Amino acid sequence: LAAKGRGATVVVFEPQEFRRKKAAELGIGHVFDPTSPDDLRKSSQLTGGDMFDVVLETAGHPMAVAQALELAGHHARVVYVGINVGGKVEAPMGLIQAKALEVQGIIGSVNLWPQTIRFLSSGGVDPTPIVSDHFAHADSVDAFALSRSGGKTTKVHVEIGS
């Protein structure tokens, strides 16, 4: 949503149908299933085969971690946000060199919150539609269980003080 709010063309690769539908509802014009060879071919056609300038991998799933390098175009930036600490992934590492990729990992949000708050305060993006479930603080254990269940959730919100 932030990239869309800044005028970028956004393409989402999501294996869960529920989340693909949510992305489409949020106005993301190009939503693909990364497990579908047909969808991967269609996504390549969006860029005339050049692939993507920026790839944000946010799941930490082994397939997505490896696939990010393949989706990146020449001189692209690949940013790993998904947390897979200690996980091992077989990936085509030669693509980093062959495509002259800039690869970066990000964990945490040091110095990010002030910028995020300013951006959201500007009104350019309304993040509330990505929240699929709301819980009172007293039900936090249930909220965490739901968020880890792999079910039909996008973001789970726990209201502090309720």
pLDDT in tens, 114-156: 888 888 888 878 888 888 899 999 999 999 899 888 777 888 9
Using a cut of 0.85, tell me whether the model's pTM lies above it. Answer: no
Exposed/middle/buried for 14, CB within 10 Å: 0-12, 13-18, 19+? Answer: buried
